[in-house]
Amino acid sequence: MKATNFIMIGTAIAAIGGAIWAFTSNLPVCLAGGMGDMKMGPMPRHMAMGGVLIGYRQAQKIVNAADREGKVSGSKKHPVVVFHGKQIHIRMIAVEPGAPDQTFEIHKLVDPAISVKGGAKIDLTLLNMDYGPGMMHGVVIGKIKPPFHMVISLPVKHQLVSLPMIMPRSRKSLRKSLYYAESTHFKAPEKPGIYYYLCQMPMHAKQGMYGKFIVRR
């Protein structure tokens, strides 16, 4: 596909994302309870879907858990969050307030490498704390490495998991906002290898929304 076509598709998707965002960000709070269960039918792969709406306190609980789990090692420039054990929970925040645009945070680290044991059973949770049109985020893990194209074709090579994109928070005010979170689970391959996690929203991985996912012995 020509680069111009990529740009056109990316722009169209971003525009649709913005329209959905504009619609949902005006939803009254009373609808919040039911939104998580709302099934929207088949949609193009890059569209936002899924997720459960939660309040600020629940979102903060996910952040706190993300800050506790795994052990930070590696260097300051290349931090690694090492998860021990065969049953683990990885919580990732899409753009924690104060973090740079188009990044994931764990332990307040920006796009850290994640290291898991081969064969580990993994619960994966994504919390979107970002705000603004087109700021939908998801997670895909596979054997794909940078540099990334504007549009990521799914599934990626040796895809381990795909967590659908979820919408940005509902309001500018952090405390008054509602947040989308989504969880899934998958099993790490037994064989050690280097994978990458990335956001499948057009442009985001290209802009830096990715990190290494290491499967160790």
- In this complex, which beta carbon is closest to Cu ion, that of residue 91 or of residue 204? 204
Among 106, 201, 203, 215, binds Cu ion (CB under 5 A): 201
Residue in the shown chain whose Cβ atom is closest to Cu ion: 199
Among 211, 217, 13, CA closest to 117: 217
Please state the closest distance from residue 84 (CB atom) to Cu ion, in A.
28
- In this complex, which beta carbon is closest to Cu ion, that of residue 53 or of residue 198? 198
Please tell me whether residue 169 binds Cu ion under the rule CB under 5 A: no
**Helix, strand, or coil here: 21?**
helix
Strand partners, 68: none
Q: Side-chain half-sphere of 61: how many Cα atoms within 13 Å?
A: 6
Among 169, 204, 208, 213, binds Cu ion (CB under 5 A): 204
Please tell me whether residue 13 binds Cu ion under the rule CB under 5 A: no
Among 82, 118, 83, CA closest to 215: 118
Please state the closest distance from residue 210 (CB atom) to Cu ion, in A.
10
- In this complex, which beta carbon is closest to Cu ion, that of residue 70 or of residue 202? 202
- In this complex, which beta carbon is closest to Cu ion, that of residue 99 or of residue 120? 99
Q: Which of residues 127-146 bind Cu ion (CB under 5 A)?
A: 137
Please state the closest distance from residue 154 (CB atom) to Cu ion, in A.
14
Unique residue bearing structure tokens 């994966």: 124
Q: Give the total of residues touching Cu ion (CB under 5 A).
A: 5
Contact 75, 114 (CB under 8 A): no
Pairwise CA distance, residues 21 & 194, whole Å: 35
- Of the candidate spans 50-58, 73-81, 111-119, 193-201, the one that interacts with Cu ion by CB under 5 A turns out to be 193-201
Among 199, 208, 210, 213, binds Cu ion (CB under 5 A): 199
Pairwise CA distance, residues 42 & 59, whole Å: 28
Cα angle, residue 89 at apex, residues 86 and 92 outer, rounded to 5°: 140
CA-based diameter of the chain, in Å? 49
Binding residues vs Cu ion (CB under 5 A): 137, 199, 201, 204, 209
